[in-house]
Amino acid sequence: ISSPLPPDETCNVRKCIAADTSVHDLYGSLICTNFRISFITKDVTPFQKFQYQNLLLEEHDVSLTCVERVVAVNDARKKRKVLSSNQFLKFNPNELIIYCKDFRIILFRFDEAVPESARKLCLAIAHYSQPKDLQLLFGFAYVREQHQNPDTKVNGEFGDGQQTSLFESYTDWDREIKRTVASEWRVCSVNERFTTSLPEYFVVPSSLADEDLKQLSPSFNGGRIPMWCWQHSSGSALVRMANVRPGVQLRKHDTRILKAITQSHPQRSEVFKSDLDKTLPSLQEIQAAFHRLKQLCINLFEETDEKWSSSLESTRWLEYIRLFLKHSAELTQWLDSKHISVVIQEEEGRDLSCVVASVVQVMLDPHFRSIQGFQSLIQKEWVIAGYRFLDRCNHLQKSDKQECPLFLLFLDCVWQLLQQYPAAFEFTETYLTMLYDSTWIPLFNTFLFNCQSQRVQQSQDFAINGNLHCSGPGLRLPNVWDWSLQFTEKERTLFNNPLYIGKTASCLQNGTIKTFRRSKVNMLQ
């Protein structure tokens, strides 16, 4: 599914398997394509690390989007250089180190390769792994090929993820309202022209007309008025919103919005407001913890087990996981025990709130602990709600200041719950791992964009610029929920948890079925 970019290929390359010995090293050719870095070898890997095979990536492949840093080394001249796009390299390297965003560190040696060929390959990898334009990512080249050659699909037709609600239509939102019996809420389309980063359709209190919403929208950062997430069976609702801009008149608008939310739950006359910017770590703190965690993994083999344990604590990554879980559990108490609606608020309502809103729903709604439900949750609270995947994953390597691993933090939170309540979840840790790995495959529209508006606009622009005639608004990249593009049906069985006992209960302890919600707070304290 990808094409080589001659002359970006070097033969007689050695891939170093272990840092302390060359016994298991592999020999082959290293190639850079428009999608991945491929190491092709006839040797048999001495030990199989994985139980599955990805149909898009071979065992020794790395997608270009997964490359974080490219380092060229010349031992004889004691030269070491971090390569950037369109950069000149003054020496011929005999070693190439690729640092990956998924924590892998891959080492290649060019002892027997043609020096000039090795140098050109290193520069090509650095260049193609740091594209300056979104439409240079592989997904656009792939969908162009599919449009021009419809009979060349890799693994059958798209649509394996049809049962996953994408929340791009009125119907999906209306179905979710009916599923949760949120009769005091309605689907609106005030953002149909994408004037904000909100989706085209979202849910608001029925007491607010479209004209009211248009009037209130400028009061909130980015125009992101409160957006309904979910409703408890008691009628209490979970809502997320951006901060209100400063000003006396604008604060009145905030009060009006809260009153409308309260009216949507007539049995209670109050709303609990949670300011995430004040209660949880900042994006900068989370990113710093993540950097410390990655550095710890780089030095893993140089540390003793005792040092590893103490150093892991010092990264503060696990501490932040605990804080997010604890705060989410506290909010479930307001919704589930006190039957009071919760409004989670932050600067723009599209970062920390993605994590908290998702974890709360995983805790309270068994539907979101099924595979299809979990995928729909990610679509609803991350993809459609406007999480900045492009910036936070730094796909274009533009700004480290915008980068933050919030999606990984969310998956880690879910993994922690999965370990404590394995029978509550239909999916496995393998599924969570594959989902995280998919964020670094530049094929799926799910993880390439900052919001629905950008997703639609880029699709339209690409079709126009490429003079590609198609029905509808533009060429559509596949979504990640079409797992048949990556795995065979047999391998997808690894996603299914054999301990899962259905949506009626969540965990099995000492042979007794216990509900998830009764023990959620004790679990997290």
| Pair 97, 191 in one domain | no
Do the domain assignments include residue 466?
yes
Exposure class string for 154-184: b at 16+ Cβ within 10 A, else e: ebeebebbeebbbbbeeebbeebbeebebeb
Do the domain assignments include residue 92?
yes
Do the domain assignments include residue 57?
yes
DSSP string, 145-188: HHHH-TT--SSS-S-TTTTS----SHHHHHHHHHHTT-TTEEEE
| Pair 121, 193 in one domain | no
Do the domain assignments include residue 461?
yes
| Pair 489, 410 in one domain | yes
Do the domain assignments include residue 151?
no
pLDDT of residue 154: 43
Structure tokens at 54: 């990805």
| Pair 439, 367 in one domain | yes
What CATH number is given to the structural domain containing 98?
2.30.29.30
Cα–Cα distance for residue pair 77/385, rounded to 1 Å: 51
Contact (CB, 8 A) for 223 and 217 = yes
CA angle 102, 103, 109 (to 5 degrees): 110
| Pair 116, 237 in one domain | no
The Cβ of residue 74 has, within 10 Å, a number of other Cβ atoms equal to: 19
Rounded-to-10 torsion of CA 157, 158, 161, 163: -80
Q: Could you check whether the bond before residue 266 is cis, i.e. omega within 30 degrees of 0?
A: no
pLDDT of residue 523: 39
| Pair 326, 455 in one domain | yes
The one-letter code for the residue type at 188 is: C
The Cβ of residue 16 has, within 10 Å, a number of other Cβ atoms equal to: 16
| Pair 25, 125 in one domain | yes
| Pair 325, 207 in one domain | yes
Q: Give start and end residues of each alpha helix (H) in 264-336.
A: 276-279, 283-298, 305-315, 317-336
Domain hosting 63: range is 8-130
Report the candidate in 5, 63, 60 with the shortest Cα–Cα distance to residue 36: 63
| Pair 389, 437 in one domain | yes
Do the domain assignments include residue 153?
no
Cα–Cα distance for residue pair 438/491, rounded to 1 Å: 15
| Pair 333, 200 in one domain | yes
pLDDT of residue 341: 96
pLDDT of residue 513: 37
DSSP structural state of residue 477 = P
pLDDT of residue 30: 96
pLDDT of residue 394: 95
Cα–Cα distance for residue pair 91/123, rounded to 1 Å: 11
Number of domains composing the chain = 2
CA angle 95, 96, 102 (to 5 degrees): 145
Do the domain assignments include residue 145?
no
Please, which residues have CB within 8 angstroms of residue 51's CB and are 6 or more apart in sequence? 430, 494
DSSP, collapsed to helix, strand or coil, labels residue 454 as helix
| Pair 85, 207 in one domain | no
Beta bridge partners of 109: 14, 95
| Pair 362, 412 in one domain | yes
pLDDT of residue 373: 97
pLDDT of residue 182: 96
pLDDT of residue 162: 54
Contact (CB, 8 A) for 99 and 63 = no
Exposure class string for 123-147: b at 16+ Cβ within 10 A, else e: bbbbbbbbbeebeebbbbbbbbbbe
Do the domain assignments include residue 163?
no
pLDDT of residue 252: 82
HSE toward the beta carbon, residue 331, CA cutoff 13 A:
35
pLDDT tens-digit profile, the chain (525 residues): 555 544 468 899 999 986 666 778 999 999 999 999 999 987 766 555 555 789 999 989 999 999 999 999 998 878 899 999 888 898 999 999 999 999 999 999 999 999 999 999 999 999 999 998 999 999 998 888 887 776 554 433 344 445 899 999 999 999 999 999 999 999 999 999 999 999 999 999 999 999 999 999 999 999 999 999 999 999 999 999 999 988 757 778 888 899 999 999 877 778 999 999 999 999 999 999 999 999 888 777 445 455 666 688 899 999 999 999 999 999 999 999 999 999 999 999 999 999 999 999 999 999 999 999 999 999 999 999 999 999 999 999 887 889 999 999 999 999 999 999 999 999 999 999 999 999 999 999 999 999 999 999 998 898 888 778 766 666 789 999 999 999 999 999 999 999 998 765 444 344 343 444 434 443 333
pLDDT of residue 305: 52
Cα–Cα distance for residue pair 202/223, rounded to 1 Å: 14
Helix (H) or strand (E) holding 271: strand 271-275
Contact (CB, 8 A) for 14 and 109 = yes
C-alpha to C-alpha distances, 211 to 183, 189, 348, 434, nearest whole angstrom: 21, 11, 22, 43
